[in-house]
Amino acid sequence: MDVSRLVLGTMYFGTRTDERTSRALLDRFVDAGGTTLDTANCYSFWSDASGHGGQSEETLGRWLAADGSRRDRVQLATKVGVEPLDHPRPDGATVEGLSADVVRAGCEASLRRLGVDVIDLYWAHGEDRGTPLEESVEAFGALVQAGSVRRLGVSNHPTWRVERGRSIALDRGLEPWTALQLTTSYLHPRPGAAVEGKDHRFGFVTDETIDYVAEHPDVELWAYSPLVQGAYDRADRPFPEPYEHPGSTRRLAVLDEVAADHGVPRSVVVLAWLLASRPQIRPIVGVSGVEQLDSALRVADVDLTPDELTALDAPA
């Protein structure tokens, strides 16, 4: 497995994860061959007394500034769209949204906090149906034309909106979204069940998502929270109740067998399975310590056989 396909999630860098630990994680990840860092302008507003984000980007910016060679070794991905507002918008929305002004100003602020002159991948973080989709698409496209952003992605949007936005961009000669970021894992919650902490209506990968990405080779799929907050390995962090069903029991039995055969934790097999999937799913790994990161990096030593993949892929 190619470690460079892993993405290091930096959501809590600068808040729950202190500066020293954040830097140690970044150094370890890059030294091991990792290249891609994922953050957002709103990370992590819920963990900071200010009620606003930006701490993660600022932490990354200080790490980059400490060694000029680091910028050439990493790909930076950040997001705009769900930073809280001090006062609701006229339509009642309480987050910034995706208007042209917000997208442009958000990019400028992220560039400043990161201390760079270009963002490698800029995400539309969440839906904003209070802003015409055409306006948002044109604003993101303008950033690419201006050289402030290299590539565009979209997170927590329904597939039909993704396709409509891509069509608008292509019709107008603009850069389209070529990456999707949603949540998924080896286990899945019961259909229709509400999962605590996953409050994006269209945040989960579905069979339609997989089909869409398979039919559009230019679109890459990234998965956040692929390890369900450590539930695969930690007895003190059980799976949320919606994951408790007979299908999970059967899949965990297969996962246990494969993990034992490779001598690695369950979570490492989950990461390997995502990377071996077709279409491939790039997992975003969020960790709070170097030991956790080193465990995830063991995916480099796991080469799943065709028989193992068949067993892991079997319907639940």
Quote the Cα angle for 96-98-104, to 5°. Answer: 95
- Is-contact 304 312, C-beta < 8 A? yes
pLDDT for the residue 13: 98
- Domains in the chain (CATH in brackets) are 3-313 (3.20.20.100)
SS3 assignment, position 164: helix
Single out the residue of 70, 165, 68, 78 nearest to residue 120, CA to CA.
78
Asked if the peptide bond before residue 44 counts as cis, ω within 30 degrees of 0, the response is: yes
Single out the residue of 219, 210, 185 nearest to residue 278, CA to CA.
210
Which ranges in the chain belong to alpha helices (H)? Answer: 19-31, 55-65, 100-114, 133-145, 159-171, 207-215, 246-262, 266-276, 290-297, 306-313
Each of the 316 residues of the chain gets a pLDDT tens digit; together they read 789 999 999 999 999 999 999 999 999 999 999 999 999 999 999 999 999 999 999 999 999 999 999 999 999 999 999 999 999 999 999 999 999 999 999 999 999 999 999 999 999 999 999 999 999 999 999 999 999 999 999 999 999 999 999 999 999 999 999 999 999 999 999 988 888 877 788 999 999 999 999 999 999 999 999 999 999 999 999 999 999 999 999 999 999 999 999 999 999 999 999 999 999 999 999 999 999 999 999 999 999 999 999 999 997 6
